[in-house]
Chain A
Amino acid sequence: MNRIAEATLANGRKIPYVITDNPPRGGMKYTYFAPDRSYVVQFYNDPSKVDRNMTARLEAIIGRYNPTIPESKGGAVGGDEKLAKYFAERFCWPTDLVVAPEIGLVSPAYPKSFFFDEHASKFLELKGKDKKSNWFTSGNRRFLNKSELGDFRSMLQMSLLLSRSIRRLHQAGLAHSDLSNNNVLIDPKSGNCVVIDIDSLVVPGLFPPEVAGTRGYIAPEVLATMELDRNDPRRVVPGSMTDLHALAVLIYEYLFLRHPLMGPKIFSAESAEKDDFLGLGEMALFIEDPKDSSNRPASLKNTIKDVGPVLEKLFLRAFAEGLHDPPLRPSAMEWEQGLVKTWDMLHKCSNPDCEKKWFVLYDSADPVCPFCGQRIAEKNVVRFELYSEVRGHSGEWKKHSEMDIVNNTPLFKWHTHSNIFADEKADGTMQAYACCHNGEWFVINTHAEGMLSPQGNPVPKGQAIRISDGTVFRASSDPRGMVIKVRII
């Protein structure tokens, strides 16, 4: 039977919540909802583990490390209203510490889009259940309606948003420490994701939480050393370095719908538990390892090569070089930047039945969708190669990235300036766009300052330049402005 109870917050305020018989229970906490379900109140399964260290950590998380409220209101340093609003959509960040009836937390309820509605599945009653990522990245996909599944572009977008969220944590010195399919909810339909269970964050200078971790996401070095004594310096505890393993696993799962380490190789014939312990721990082996194919499934339809050289390199660093050598793993920022670059290479598949709908068009010599085999509909591949001037070496230009261009492809500030990055602070105003008219290509300047024509003449806003294969022009005459080289292949 349900009844209303009251929780007292650290600031003395009292808020109501509904006590239910079998509240949803995770590894650490159980959850009650607000009468209007706008927030949740969570208590710990084992209140005896709540101590001064833990409440100090929770206070820091809710206050001075909180990126979801502006600095002016007691949140993290450097956050204004706009940034706070941005991250409030990316994290389900706890808002208050509960002090009575016992220590607990108040967090906002997840946005509606992270709960299934009644149209989610023909086979299962999923209405109201949260969208844990392995609904979408495992065999469970077959139970969901097609409209839930998103496409390759939405999966890439979620990978990018997740990388940004983790980068934001790491930038503040925080680590999630229990990043997993259960702690990131995803909505492939809209391409959004939200990081939850923020209370297990590792906070600089404070005692770390005791996290169990989740099978498949625990870093190999944590599994391999967990039998060592608590005080043994060789024992690895979760932190930002192990987050980077979990982040790479999640991105790989979003893009390939499979786990990067779970292959056919048998690591121990003794028991499933031992086999797993080794195969995800000290003997872990990437299923696409370039040197050792012993864990490679017989049928691997798509591989890391199919998502372009930028991501391919990052995956190799995460799962080949860095699997057992944590410092070699790509940082969250490298993932974020690599995913932005890859985003610019996305091409819409012309096959209306293609399940993935979008693919990374990296090979201009063979412009074919790797998922369905369809060749692009366009006559040519149009490429913008973006070059930035090497700092301190005037006149020396280095390739920054490439863009796949179709009619109406927009250029933003991060395409016209090498010092502007497509992050949460970036100005999303379109600066210019490419346009194909009667078989000829143009770049139309809408907002770019200081665009120059191939001849070096100013191109004012509202005017266009004609481009063809080999055209080189300056997107902005600012010192950090990019030079763009056009290739029509």
Chain B
Amino acid sequence: MSEFTRRLPVYLLLDISGSMMGDPIEAVRNGVRALISELRSDPQALETAYLSVITFNSAARQVVPLTELMMFREPPLNAGGATAFGAALRLLAECIRAEVRKSTETQKGDWKPLVFILTDGAPTDEWRAAAAELRSTHPANIIACAAGANADTTILRELTDCVLLMNNLSAGDLSQFFAWVSSSVKMSSKSLDAKPGANIELPPPPQGFVIVP
């Protein structure tokens, strides 16, 4: 049992604004539950992946700090309010700074974090500076998923090159999204086929999802 196992930090940034009320937020709750259960049954993910949840509506909140999978407790998720996307990005940057171990001359650092963003609308706050900073400092591999007809992919494109579009906000599509997140985490915890600094490899997105070029 190695004490030198490095962690793979995974951040979920979940939009819980008013437009997610009803079936969508219920589907997100189920998705998080399924994600945890799926990752806990994969030995490599269980050993390396640590998970945090940041939610945003009128404000951004880290509802679960970076936690090992066995200790993870589902946060209560209730929809309502605006879409403070910019605040969520600033909080993400702060959490990464505080929680992710850096590689140094004396310490084995964590893997570069994986961030999955799920949002269904347009930001209601100032987000551009925060997105630009994340893009230039690149502290994490960010995958953004725009859900439903109202989601604005051009905004997400300013943040990351990896943007998915899910055409509707159905329970089935949301469940597929979380299943894909789980495959992505599993794959990242196993593979080391890209040279350092190269793009990470992710499984093909589920059917009905489009990669935004």
Which residues of A pack against B, CB within 8 Å? 21-22, 25, 27, 45-46, 123-126, 129, 132, 134-135, 138-141, 143, 181-182, 212-216, 218, 223, 226-227, 257-259, 262-264, 266, 268-277, 280, 297
Contact = CB atoms under 8 A, between A and B. Distances in A.
B204 A140 contact: no
Nearest to B100: A272
A370 to B, nearest CB: 18
What are the nearest 5 A-B pairs in CB distance? Answer: A215-B192, A212-B193, A273-B196, A22-B179, A139-B1
Contacts of B179: 21-22
A273 B193 CA distance: 11
Contacts of A226: 193, 195
B111 A126 contact: no
Interface of A (DSSP majority class): loop
8 contacts: A25-B203, A143-B70, A181-B44, A212-B193, A264-B108, A269-B103, A271-B112, A273-B196
B193 A25 contact: no
Contacts of B47: 134, 138-140
Contacts of A264: 4, 108
Nearest to A215: B192
B57 interface: no
Considering residues A138, A214, A259, A274, which has the most beta carbons from chain B within 10 angstroms of its beta carbon? Answer: A138
B77 to A, nearest CB: 21
A22 B108 contact: no
Interface of B: 1-6, 37, 40-41, 43-44, 46-47, 70, 103-112, 172, 175-176, 179, 183, 187, 190-193, 195-197, 201, 203-204, 206
B2 A262 contact: yes
Nearest to B192: A215
A367 to B, nearest CB: 28
B176 A22 contact: yes
A273 to B, nearest CB: 4
A212 B192 CA distance: 8
A86 B108 CA distance: 44
Contacts of A143: 46, 70
A272 B44 contact: no
Contact of A272 (B6, B176, B206): B6
B204 A297 contact: no
Given A27-B191, A214-B191, 12 more contacts: A21-B172, A21-B179, A22-B176, A134-B43, A134-B47, A138-B1, A139-B1, A215-B191, A262-B5, A266-B108, A273-B197, A276-B6
Given A21-B176, A125-B37, A143-B70, A213 B109 contact: no
A223 B193 CA distance: 8
Nearest to A212: B193
Contacts of A227: 195
A264 B109 CA distance: 11
A214 B190 contact: yes
Contacts of A270: 103, 196
A268 B103 contact: yes
A218 B103 contact: no
B67 to A, nearest CB: 15
B187 A27 contact: yes
A134 B109 CA distance: 22
Contacts of A223: 192
A124 B41 CA distance: 7
Contacts of B197: 271, 273-274
Considering residues B46, B47, B192, which has the most beta carbons from chain A within 10 angstroms of its beta carbon? Answer: B192
Nearest to A123: B70
A271 B187 CA distance: 19
A257 B3 CA distance: 12
Contacts of B183: 25
A273 B70 contact: no
A19 to B, nearest CB: 12
B104 A269 contact: yes
A182 B105 CA distance: 32
A182 B2 contact: no
B203 A135 contact: no
A264 B2 CA distance: 10
Contact of B192 (A123, A218, A263, A268): A218
A27 B192 CA distance: 12
A123 B191 CA distance: 27
Contacts of A138: 1-2, 5, 43, 47
B2 to A, nearest CB: 5
A140 B69 CA distance: 12
Contacts of B187: 27
A269 B3 CA distance: 18
B110 A272 contact: yes
Considering residues B5, B41, B204, which has the most beta carbons from chain A within 10 angstroms of its beta carbon? Answer: B41
Contacts of A258: 1-2
